Structure 1
């Protein structure tokens, strides 16, 4: 699977999102830089087929098919769109996602799944109190349970704090498993993971780095 965003923008003269090019595909993790509070979510919605661009094109495997893109690409932890409510427990988040994936979602099933992921100690914890590493692990592993999902777009994982190299390594691990990964975050994270190597202020939203382990 290959997703290509070419010259996409949103808003008058790109005020919401300036012209942006991003490509991500099966077996790769790609970092895209997007600044301001709103732009990461807008880029994430475009890249996962949840929003139409005002300019530019979006294709999946060479076709402009937003429905297919929505089916095959999960939008993970996007503020105000797909992020769990802060007071919802890890157990409740897990139950809901198991249900959406067509799996058993009762109390025993939830505990069993969390135990398999070594997260059962967080069962009753509000999601907002979970460490960035555990939050990312939980949400991406739940997202890939859906049978048609082949790629993930993760929005602003840097907003939760922690070392960006942790969630970048998690993205690389998912790419190793055959998923297409797009991680959208800001300048500081780009510097830490080496997506940019100098102080040049490149256009927000440009894909800065891609990676994958063979």
Structure 2
């Protein structure tokens, strides 16, 4: 699977999202930066087929098909859209996602799933207080349980704090399982991820790529 965002923008004079081009594909992790509170979510919605850009186009395997893109790409932890309520426990989040995926979601099944992903100790912790890397891992693992999901758009994992190498390593782990991964984060995360990439052992499936949003035209504000 390959998703290409070609010169997409949103809002009057692209205030909501400046014109940008980025691509992500199966077996690779791509990092793109987006600043301000709104733009990461807007970009995530567009990249996952859940919002139509005002300029440019989004193609899935060379075709424009927003419905297929929505089915095949999960939008993970996007503020105000797909992020879990902060006071819900991790077990509660898991139960809901297991139900949506058509899996057993009773307390025993939830406990078994959490234990199987080394998350049992965090079961009763409000998701807002879960370790940042564990949160990303849990939400991504739950997202790919849904039938037909082949890609992940992870929005603003850096907002939870922690070492960016943690969530970037998780993104890479999913690419080794064949998923396409796009991570949207703030500009400050780029050099930290680059350092993490230099420090790690080369992987066998592709080299992750770091992409930057096209800078907004002078005078534009979000």
Tell me the alpha carbon deviations over residues 80-105 of structure 1, each in whole angstroms, 9 at most, x when there is no partner: 00000000011110000001111000
Specify the alignment match of 2:207 in structure 1: none
- Pairs aligned (count): 199
Specify the alignment match of 1:187 in structure 2: 187
Instruction: Tell me how far apart the structure 2 counterparts of residues 119 and 5 of structure 1 sit (CA, whole Å).
Output: 35
Instruction: Tell me how far apart the structure 2 counterparts of residues 192 and 146 of structure 1 sit (CA, whole Å).
Output: 31
Instruction: Tell me how far apart the structure 1 counterparts of residues 123 and 158 of structure 2 sit (CA, whole Å).
Output: 23
Segment drifting more, 186-195 vs 23-32: 186-195
Specify the alignment match of 1:205 in structure 2: 213
**Alignment partner of 2:118: what SS?**
coil
Instruction: Tell me how far apart the structure 2 counterparts of residues 36 and 205 of structure 1 sit (CA, whole Å).
Output: 12
Query: What TM-score comes out, normalization by structure 1 length?
Result: 0.91
Query: What TM-score comes out, normalization by structure 2 length?
Result: 0.88
Specify the alignment match of 1:13 in structure 2: 13
- Structure 1 residue ranges (4+ consecutive) displaced by more than 3 angstroms after TM superposition: none
Tell me the alpha carbon deviations over residues 138-197 of structure 1, each in whole angstroms, 9 at most, x when there is no partner: 1011011112100000000000001111111110110011000000001110121128xx
Instruction: Tell me how far apart the structure 2 counterparts of residues 3 and 109 of structure 1 sit (CA, whole Å).
Output: 34
Instruction: Tell me how far apart the structure 1 counterparts of residues 39 and 213 of structure 2 sit (CA, whole Å).
Output: 8
2:37 corresponds to 1:29: no
Structure 1: tracts of 5 or more residues without a match: 196-202, 207-214
Displacement of 1:204 in angstroms is 5.8
2:92 corresponds to 1:92: yes
Instruction: Tell me how far apart the structure 2 counterparts of residues 191 and 164 of structure 1 sit (CA, whole Å).
Output: 10
- CA-atom RMSD, angstroms? 1.2
Instruction: Tell me how far apart the structure 1 counterparts of residues 152 and 178 of structure 2 sit (CA, whole Å).
Output: 11
- 1:204 and 1:15, CA in 2 relative to 1: closer, same or farther beyond 3 A? farther
2:151 corresponds to 1:143: no
